[in-house]
Amino acid sequence: MFQHPNLTKLLPSIPMLEWGRRYDRETLISDLVAALIVTVMLIPQSLAYALLAGLHPEVGLYASVAPLVLYAIFGTSRVLAVGPVAVVSLMTAAAIGEHAAIGTPAYWAFAISLAFMSGVILLLMGLLRLGFLAYFLSHPVISGFISASGLLIAASQIKTLMGVNAQGHNFIDLVVSLVQQIPDVHLLTLAVGVGATGFLFWVRKGLKPLLVRWEFQSRTADVLAKTGPVAAIVLTTFLTWFFQWQTQGLKIVGAVPQGLPPLTLPIWDLALWKALAVPALLISVVGFVESVSVGQTLAAKRRQRIAPNQELVALGASNVSAALTGGFPVTGGFARSVVNFDAGAKTPAAGIYTAVGITLASLFLTPALYYLPQATLSATIVVAVLSLVDFSIFKKMWRYSKADFVAVLATMLVTLTLGVELGLVTGVGVSLALYLYRTSRPHIAEVGLVPGTEHFRNITRHEVGTQPTVLGLRVDESLYFANSRVLEDHVNDCVASHPQLAHVVLQCSAINSIDASALESLEAIDSRLRDSGILLHLSEVKGPVMDRLQHTHFLRDLSGKVYLTHFQAIQDLS
Amino acid sequence: MFQHPNLTKLLPSIPMLEWGRRYDRETLISDLVAALIVTVMLIPQSLAYALLAGLHPEVGLYASVAPLVLYAIFGTSRVLAVGPVAVVSLMTAAAIGEHAAIGTPAYWAFAISLAFMSGVILLLMGLLRLGFLAYFLSHPVISGFISASGLLIAASQIKTLMGVNAQGHNFIDLVVSLVQQIPDVHLLTLAVGVGATGFLFWVRKGLKPLLVRWEFQSRTADVLAKTGPVAAIVLTTFLTWFFQWQTQGLKIVGAVPQGLPPLTLPIWDLALWKALAVPALLISVVGFVESVSVGQTLAAKRRQRIAPNQELVALGASNVSAALTGGFPVTGGFARSVVNFDAGAKTPAAGIYTAVGITLASLFLTPALYYLPQATLSATIVVAVLSLVDFSIFKKMWRYSKADFVAVLATMLVTLTLGVELGLVTGVGVSLALYLYRTSRPHIAEVGLVPGTEHFRNITRHEVGTQPTVLGLRVDESLYFANSRVLEDHVNDCVASHPQLAHVVLQCSAINSIDASALESLEAIDSRLRDSGILLHLSEVKGPVMDRLQHTHFLRDLSGKVYLTHFQAIQDLS
């Protein structure tokens, strides 16, 4: 068999073939144990996030089968656990909410189409090696977005905890509506909801120390504490059945269809695809960024590596498979991946075993969910997402960088008031604009020789030596169209304030590129200096920059010389 | 009188108070001579560009009175000649064409409103010191845009030269339509048009050498050659009157109202303002960039300076005054400013005298324009704009920088096919995207010591010394969200390929800033290296970067040290 080498490079690789070959009994047992624990944790999460996305609870189970298998085949992380996650579920609800009514078959069909589109986008990005695009979402923007999403999700769940019908298109409307409906609170629902929430918070904070005192290992205690939501579900379901609370107005999950995930297809409708294109792109990027950061954090702990472009392919395949089996957009989740890691998963096979576990649950467990109170699911969501909310980022960014602070603030405010999609787009826009603004006003330092060295530093910061006839200028930015005029102005000003000047030396150690506009500015600077009887020299021009300048008029016509080091230039011109 | 110092800073300055104080008889004569020559040149241009903008010819005269006076008061260029220019007239036609029919009173009212909006935008940009925004239009984008505009204008005028009614929404449609209508050509019109065009080309290329041979001074010959359009107008007007060519179907200018510029007001209609906002902004920016580059080029020749933010104020005031006196958007024109300069204008007072000249023309000269053939005006436009078209930029950019080449090409193609506004926006978008793409993939070099110096350079380009235990890396880009992951990956790869490694030193001479995302990446790199038993050091960190890092966890927790110079780092770690 002959395969063209470039073609094989374009095809996705299959990491499974790598680890599958060395699979042994010990690994099997580790993976099985981890899978069991993740399954127990994933069942309530799947149900809850499906409800959060506006879908029937069983759709959450469907989304937790095929995607796990596909990720296990194509993914490069050994421990990433794929499935429905909070932020992506919120984004799904926001995207589809405009086009169909919650709970309708059309709504489900749109969710399936959204998963399909998101999968195709991820696959294309992976095959075209566009993973770098995701890095344009900066850390501050992601932090602000995730925190704001956490607040939005919590606010949206509180109505279920209170048993009221609050509604609102943004965070403020929602909170106002919740406050207005306090008199209508359903007390039994509130009791179950608050009880479950309190229990879950206690499990998070109080159970682990208790387990450790009972001489469990710290890691085992961690894993056991993560099964808290299942305990809450079992307990409240039992109480509801025993006291028949649904007859007193407590909303329950009700009949959930039993059976394997159905085979489904996306809607082939160009108008719908156009309407969902931007949300699908944003869901893809957010899902990818979330997934890759989880994967990289965990991989680093075991000295493994993540291949971002291959991750795109894996997540793409997962989402396409979600669309073909009745699911909705999925990605790698933080909490469940950590559990998987801590529980000792060794290979992605653990994901396949988890998929088997969820399949068994959707075949046999769904009747047991009949009496599960919706308030319990909301409680698990609230407790999960509040850990996403992190206001300390504001203080940190304010101290370190005002530009990053503005980006966080803008992302958060717009996400809370105008929605998740605009929030993300604003965040990226603001952070790019601030970056461009900064690079358009470069720092330009006059430099002098640090005594006893060959090193030059800013004359206003260090005790350095200078000469009246030679001016050394260091431009702290690559020269491009947005800032080259600033350099022109700066040199003009410097010449006016140094009457004895005969030489200007531009130290180019921080100039990483010079575009065509900047080249014209340099030509203008050179010709103006020449008119004033001053020579322009360059020093420490980098290789890639020099390669380009080599064949230009500028270098041929330059009044001065190009020096390898600034030290040589100053020695020569003294 | 007490004035708050910060308030005076915000108010626009009035350069006229500066030069007006030292005005003497000699300067007066120089300015009067220059004004006379510019007036003679400006009359046909004003009429022609008004027609190009889709307005009655007298509107061009109105736009050449008040704006010149306002620029003379507020402008910082001594010689800039303001008035209607080709590209801005084309953009005006494109902006209004969608909203009103050419030649109607509504069309004129919209042009007045556009001038007002553009003036307000320019004033605001000047008062808020936003002049730097204009620099985001790179040289290649401006070149591509101006060339494409020149082609569009020429194509639009050829129908008048041919005496046909060709129409098209883009360059290709227009050319196709022109070719289809060749059989309908009006031969008399064609004869006048081609005759005038040929005459004007000859004046440009052939007249000056002739005049020089007749022992005129070279500069005088230049100025005389610029009055060619007036000769063409006088000649063709006389012939048309003598032979009564208008009775044979030659289109003439016809009755042009006599009198002072009227007092007018913009339309106060929010819907219209919204529709015209983007065109007004683009017209403002293009007008400003064109004007400032002309002003700077000419100022440099006499060692004078242009203050860009003050120029915004001056052009803003000019455009507002154009709107109040029946005009349309204006800016500083290249050709007429050069004539003004060559003719010896010393102060902006020359502009005021020109305004007086144009006022006299609109009071007394308009009846003489009755028999002026429209084809003659089109000929002056065609000859003027073809000098704007410059295809050599393609070759130049292709050689110097592929990114700049792509920006020129995109700007030009989109301008020709989808219109001037989309063309400009595309140009800015493409050049920013390419800049961001480049900065997102930084050049990272492994560096070694240049023997006999304290200087370090790329090991693949220079003969330098290295050590197996110390790795020196120079990152040729500021670290920010879009590229910090690339550094993480690169360091990971380097560590894998250097088994004996004990120290990594990042030479930060080209790192001009580190944003919050990049700081997190550096923390990640440090902690991963530490896990592998490798220390991370920094060298040559710049002042502004160090100021920020000073109070961060990163610097406190850094496994290695921060060295003033890379040389010290390598000596210490050997």
With a cut of 50, say whether residue A1 has pLDDT above it.
no
Cα A404 to Cα A426: distance, rounded to the nearest angstrom: 13
Per-residue pLDDT tens over the stretch A439-482? 998 889 999 998 888 888 899 888 888 888 999 999 988 999 99
Say if B530 is an interface residue toward chain A (CB within 8 Å).
no
The backbone torsions φ and ψ at residue B458, rounded to the nearest 5 degrees and listed phi first, read -55, 130
Per-residue pLDDT tens over the stretch B362-405? 898 888 889 999 899 889 888 888 888 888 889 988 988 889 99
User: Which residues are within 8 A (CB) of B420 and not within 5 positions of it... i.e. 6 or more apart?
Assistant: B90, B91, B94, B145, B148, B149, B152, B282
Per-residue pLDDT tens over the stretch A221-267? 777 777 788 888 899 999 999 999 988 988 998 888 888 899 999 98
Q: Which of A399, A440, A455 sits opposite B565 (nearest CB)?
A: A455
Per-residue pLDDT tens over the stretch B158-177? 888 888 877 777 888 888 88
Q: What is the mean pLDDT of chain B?
A: 87
Mean of pLDDT values over B217-232: 77
Tally A–B CB contacts below 8 A.
182
If one compares B201 and B215, the residue with the highest pLDDT of the two is B201
The dihedral sign for the CA sequence A86, A89, A94, A97? negative
With a cut of 60, say whether residue B20 has pLDDT above it.
yes
Say if A449 is an interface residue toward chain B (CB within 8 Å).
no
The backbone torsions φ and ψ at residue B266, rounded to the nearest 5 degrees and listed phi first, read -70, 165
Per-residue pLDDT tens over the stretch A277-299? 999 999 999 999 888 878 877 77
**Three-class HEC string of B227-249:** CHHHHHHHHHHHHHHHHCHHHHC
- Does B445 sit within 8 Å of A481, measured CB to CB? no
Cα B155 to Cα B477: distance, rounded to the nearest angstrom: 45
Helices then strands (H, E): number in chain A?
26, 8
Length of chain A: 574
Per-residue pLDDT tens over the stretch A4-28? 444 444 455 788 777 888 888 888 9
User: What's the pTM value of the predicted model, to 2 decimals?
Assistant: 0.84
Per-residue pLDDT tens over the stretch B351-363? 999 999 999 988 9
CA-derived radius of gyration, chain B: 30
Say if B562 is an interface residue toward chain A (CB within 8 Å).
no
- Does A139 sit within 8 Å of B517, measured CB to CB? yes
Q: pLDDT category, B5, cuts 50, 70, 90?
A: very low
Residue A553 C-alpha, separation from nearest chain B C-alpha, in angstroms: 11
Q: Which of A432, A441, A565 sits opposite B436 (nearest CB)?
A: A432
With b meaning 16 or more CB within 10 Å and e meaning fewer, what string describes A451-461? eeebbbbbbee
Strand partners, A504: A471, A536
Per-residue pLDDT tens over the stretch B292-326? 878 877 776 776 777 888 999 999 999 999 999 99
Give residues 275 to 334 of A whose Cβ lies within 8 Å of B: 300, 303, 305, 308
Nearest to B534 by CA among B554, B553, B558, B550: B558
- Does B486 sit within 8 Å of A438, measured CB to CB? no
Residue B479 C-alpha, separation from nearest chain A C-alpha, in angstroms: 11
| Among chain B residues, CA nearest to A483 | B135
Mean of pLDDT values over B49-53: 92
Strand partners, B474: B445, B507
Mean of pLDDT values over A307-319: 92
Say if A406 is an interface residue toward chain B (CB within 8 Å).
no
Determine the pLDDT at residue A321.
96
Q: Which of B138, B455, B485 sits opposite A135 (nearest CB)?
A: B485
Half-sphere exposure in the Cβ direction for A329 (13 Å, CA): 37
Per-residue pLDDT tens over the stretch B454-498? 889 899 888 888 888 999 999 988 999 999 888 988 888 888 788
Determine the pLDDT at residue B303.
65
Say if A169 is an interface residue toward chain B (CB within 8 Å).
no
3-state secondary structure at position A371? coil
Say if B548 is an interface residue toward chain A (CB within 8 Å).
yes
- Kindly report the number of other CB atoms within 10 A of residue A229's CB atom: 26
Say if B567 is an interface residue toward chain A (CB within 8 Å).
yes
Give CA separation, B123 vs B80, B310, B313, in Å.
18, 9, 5
Give CA separation, A123 vs A131, A154, A308, A313, B166, in Å.
10, 32, 12, 5, 48
Q: What percent of chain A has pLDDT over 70?
A: 98
Q: pLDDT category, B514, cuts 50, 70, 90?
A: very high
Q: Is B345 left (phi over 0), alpha (psi -120 to 50) or beta?
A: beta
- Does B431 sit within 8 Å of A139, measured CB to CB? no
Tokens encoding A334: 């933080």
Residues of chain B positioned with their CB less than 8 A from the CB of A305: 492
Residues of chain B positioned with their CB less than 8 A from the CB of A457: 543, 564
Length of chain B: 574
Averaging pLDDT over each range in A139-153, A175-189, B402-416, B452-466, which range is the top one? B402-416
Q: Which of A402, A512, A525, A545 to mutate to test the interface with B (most CBs of B within 10 A)?
A: A512
Residues of chain B positioned with their CB less than 8 A from the CB of A483: 135
Determine the pLDDT at residue A303.
65
Q: Which of A205-214, A327-336, B35-44 has the lowest mean pLDDT?
A: A205-214
Determine the pLDDT at residue A4.
45
Determine the pLDDT at residue A313.
94
Determine the pLDDT at residue A225.
74
With a cut of 80, say whether residue A173 has pLDDT above it.
yes
Q: Which of B140, B300, B485 sits opposite A517 (nearest CB)?
A: B140
The beta strand positions in B314-452, using DSSP E, are 331-333, 444-449
Residue A319 C-alpha, separation from nearest chain B C-alpha, in angstroms: 25
If one compares A504 and A40, the residue with the highest pLDDT of the two is A504
Say if A539 is an interface residue toward chain B (CB within 8 Å).
no
Tokens encoding A279: 């949300």
Q: pLDDT category, B1, cuts 50, 70, 90?
A: very low
Nearest to A106 by CA among A313, A267, A229, A233: A267
